[in-house]
Structure formats: structure tokens, C-alpha cells
Amino acid sequence: MNEIVWPTINSKHLIVDSKQMLILEKEMFSDGMPQEALMEKAGIQISRWLLRRKPLLKHGIIVFIGPGHNGGDGAVIARELFLKDFLVKVWCPFPIKKSLTIDHVNYLTSIGVTKLAEPPDANGKELWIDAVFGNNQTRKVDNKLIKLFNQKFHNKCGKVISIDIPTGLCPNKGKPFFDNAVKADHTLVIGLNKIGLTQDSALPFIGELNHIDVGVPISKLSKVDKKIFKVTYKDLKNIDLPSLPKNSNKYKRGKTIIIAGSEKYPGAAYLALKGAISSGAGFISAVLPKLVAQSIWQVAPEIVLKGTMQSNQNGNASLFNALNNIDLSAYDSLAVGPGIGIDNDDWQKSKDFLLDFEGLLILDADALNRIAESKLGTKFFLERKFKTWITPHSKEFSRLFPNIKGETNVELALNAAEKFNISVLLKGANSVIADNKKAWQIFGTDSHTARAGLGDLLSGFVAGSSAIDLNLSKNIKTEYFAKYALIHSFAASKCKKGSDASAIGAKLSKLMRNRKMRQIS
């Protein structure tokens, strides 16, 4: 079994569903951790987080206390802030059911905290803290409560902070149980990251996601099955890609070949090649449509042209004749798909070359669409006996795997990877990279960098980067795939010359000059 080495297994990185979190908590309680102590720790840690941001508190605080232990966390927060001389009020929108929470609320009123009898005014400037349901919510919530919170959010008269999970949002799916959920400016996630919070669908509700550590033992985290990791740009500092020997020549710096573009989509070929060049790979070859091949020497003279592709009457590329004249065994990696268009007859003739390729096969865009429409379909992956990585966006994934089910993109990617023995990069706002045992979810990316052409750039960058690393680590793991995707995303976020694919490719080149990545900032 492959060892996980990136990122570190800890509460900041590990993602779990609500059931896994409850199991971990029960194990801690059975080991002797008092439930009261965990509630105290969560509430005090959140209070400290708030006290480091005093401008949020200057107009007072109203804590919405729910019926369960999330409400108890809220009561501890209310107590701690009140004892620091802030104006604190509480409101209980539902009857309290947990005795521990009842005790905390009774103590609040005994020390002078005001318990509201009616809902607070959404036009007030106070900070509202949503401590209503948290990780235990399983069904839709009173819509009047959600409307009240969201009136506050949209009025921008004071912030909204949700404790663990915004009320009305499913902790596992990241979608509202009904029409809507509380929209928070900040969500303070307790213990471990909940899978619903890291999904694209949750982004309109969670605001800024912040982690509150309550000390879940590493020994417990290591036992979590099918590990899912949240990775952010901060994790770039701990990326450890193999360093190239100083005496390596171009053929030992990775050999990749890119098959991309068509008369219909000539730009896709150029962008994929730009991605490969930015990786620093030593030897990059290409099979291109004639239209692109005639001019590629002017924009990318370092590319070795290995063949040209004819186009069918619809302007889509035909691969067969070019593949028939190339020795693919000379290459470490092969990327196929950006902008080639759909030609089912050509794919039927060409597929055996790709099935037999013993290096790393990277399939993107129209290569995936061709597979989806072909006679063989996804059995292609099962017939191929060598390492395969795919990079679909959600629509391409749905066309390719209509029978794969999952509540989240993470689950979809894991299920497809396991069934077809491939590694999957499911692209989105929070892209997921998965194999059959683990997944990495990129979080906190720059939404302004979602632009046409970035996928083409990525496929070329993955092809070039993997070719380099295959020379140094023959058993290249999906972890590397996740690292490449994170570096690509980081380059997009840091590109000061614009968010177009060409500018981002230039930024990637600069980043990859330092293979250790420790000087990225």
C-alpha cells in the first residue's frame, strides 16, 4: 500500500462526512474525554478566534442557540465574550433538548446575559452567531429562521458567523436541504473539515472557511478509511517534487508527446504545448493539425513536430494516420484530447495505439468525449493495462460516467477511479483529484481565473511535469497529479499580467524554475 506523504495527516487537512465525525467523537468520549470538556474546548477556541477580530464585536453579539450540542457551543461562546465585557444577547429559536445546553443557557441568564423573547432585528449592527444545528442537521429547517439570517447577511449591517455548518446546509452534500440555507460571512468548522463545506455548491453559503482545532488525536485520524485531504496554496510549501540531477540531459528530463488541436480548435494545441513547455520537460514532441503545424515553429520553436493530423469535413482532427507512424514507446507520457473534436470512426481505428501505450496516458476534453461516444465506451479504461489519468469537467464526467453515483464531486471521482482503475481530476471551483483509495480537494482558489483555455494549459503541464518525475520515480502516484493541479491553480491566482491562459502559462514557467517549490510566494 502506498504511503500518504502529502499533505500531513492532521485535523487541518483531513475531510470527513458527518457520520465519520460522530464516530471520532464517540471514540474520544469512550476513551475518557468528557463531552463537557469537548464543548468547552470548542467554545473557548472559537471565542479566542473572535477576540482576535474585535472589530466584529464592537456593536455587540447575538448568539442563536440551537436545541442540541451546537447550541451548547454557542452558549460557551456567549459566556466567554460576556465575561470579556462585550454586549451579548442570546435567542433560542427552538426548545432546547440537551441537558448540557440547558445548563449552559441557565448559567448565562444567571450572570446577566439577556435572553431574547422575540427574534432580533435583522437591521441591527450586532454580530450574529449561528449556533443552531451544526454537524447533526439532517433535514430542512424552518424557512423563517433562514430568511431572518439572510436578511441580515444581505443588509450588510453586521456580520453572520456560522458554527460548524450554516443552518439549513447539508453537512455531507454541501447543498441546502430545501430552497435555501444561512449565508454566512465566516464558517468556523470544528475539529475536522466537513465534506459538504468544501464542495462547489457550498460556496455561496459558507463565506470564509476557518478551522477550529479541538485536538482530535492523530492516532484516530490515521484510521479514517479512504482519506480525503483539503489542500490550499499554503500546502505548496510542503510539496516535495523530486530534484533533477545536475548532470541530466534533455532526454533524462522527461519526454512527453502532445496530441491536440484541430482546424476547428487550433488554439487548444498551442495552449497545451505552452503548458508542457512551462513544466520544464526536456523533450516535448507534438502531433498537430496542419494549420497549427505550419506556424508552430514561430511561437514554440522548441517543439519537435512528430506528425500532422488531417481534419474531417467538420474540422475535427483525425489521429490514426499520424499515430501509425510514431514510436510512442520513446515517451514517458502522452497527452491526448485538447481541441481535437469528435470523430468516432477515427477513434475506433486509433484507440489501440493508446491502449498499448505503456507510459502515462493523460486524457482530456475531446478524447474523453470520443470515449463517451465510442462503441467500447468506458471499457476502454478497463482494457488499458497501464497508468491512466483523466481531466474532465463536470459535464464531460457526466457524459463519460452516466452510471457513476455520488453525493459530492469527491465521491463521484473516487467511485469512478475505483471502478475503472484510473486517476481522476474532476475540475471545478474546488477541483478534486482521486484514485481508488484517497482524494485531494483543492480549496480556496481564485474564482476570477476560471477562463477558457486553462484546461488545455493544465493537460500539457501535467504531461510535461509527469514526464520529468517518471524519470526519477517510476511509480508515480496520484499524489503527484494533485500537486501539479495545485501548482497550476496557484499560478493562475498569482498571475499579475492577467487571467488568460497565455499569461498564466508564462507564470507557470517562472514557478517551475524552482523544482523544490519552497521559494513560491
- Written in H, E and C, the secondary structure of 435-490 is CCCCEEEECCCCHHHCCCCHHHHHHHHHHHHHHHHHHHCCCCCHHHHHHHHHHHHH
Q: Which amino acid is at 186?
A: H
DSSP 282-314: SEEEEEEEHHHHTTHHHH-TT-EEEEEEEE-TT
Span 428-433, mean pLDDT?
Answer: 95
**Measured between alpha carbons, how far is 366 from 16 in angstroms, rounded to an integer?**
34
Span 36-62, mean pLDDT?
Answer: 97
Domain boundary assignment for the chain: 14-223, 237-511
Q: Which CATH number fits domain 14-223: 3.40.50.10260, 3.30.70.360, 1.10.10.10, 3.40.50.360?
A: 3.40.50.10260
Q: What are phi and psi of 439, to 5 degrees?
A: -145, 155
Say which DSSP state 236 is in: G
CATH fold of 237-511, please? UDP-N-acetylmuramoyl-L-alanine:D-glutamate ligase (3.40.1190)
User: What pLDDT, on a 0 to 100 scale, did the predictor assign at position 497?
Assistant: 73
**Measured between alpha carbons, how far is 31 from 24 in angstroms, rounded to an integer?**
11
Residues in contact with 284: Cβ distance below 8 Å, sequence separation at least 6, in sequence order: 255, 256, 257, 258, 273, 276, 277, 302, 303, 304, 464
pLDDT band at 472 (very low <50, low <70, confident <90, very high): confident
Do 419 and 380 form a contact (C-beta atoms < 8 A)? no
Greater confidence (136 vs 230) lies with 230
Alpha helices by DSSP H, 176-217: 203-206
Residue 479, pLDDT above cutoff 90: yes
Virtual CA dihedral for 461, 322, 252, 509, nearest 10 degrees?
Answer: -20
Extract the C-alpha cell encoding 213. 482545532
Segment 228-272, tens digit of pLDDT? 999 999 999 888 776 666 666 677 789 999 999 999 999 999 999
Segment 139-192, tens digit of pLDDT? 888 899 999 999 999 999 899 999 999 999 999 999 999 889 999 999 999 999
Residue 59, pLDDT above cutoff 90: yes
User: What pLDDT, on a 0 to 100 scale, did the predictor assign at position 452?
Assistant: 59
User: What pLDDT, on a 0 to 100 scale, did the predictor assign at position 519?
Assistant: 45
**Measured between alpha carbons, how far is 148 from 360 in angstroms, rounded to an integer?**
53
Q: How far apart are the first and last CA of the chain?
A: 34
**Measured between alpha carbons, how far is 495 from 486 in angstroms, rounded to an integer?**
14
**Measured between alpha carbons, how far is 186 from 211 in angstroms, rounded to an integer?**
11
Task: State the Rg of the chain over Cα.
Answer: 26
46, 490, 435, 45: which is closest to 239 by C-alpha? Answer: 490
DSSP 102-171: HHHHHHHHHTT-EE-SSPPPTTS-SEEEEESSGGG--S---HHHHHHHHHHHHHTSS-EEEESS-TTB-T
Say which DSSP state 425 is in: E
Do 446 and 492 form a contact (C-beta atoms < 8 A)? yes
**Measured between alpha carbons, how far is 463 from 264 in angstroms, rounded to an integer?**
23
Greater confidence (5 vs 350) lies with 350
Alpha helices by DSSP H, 336-434: 344-356, 366-373, 379-383, 394-400, 409-420
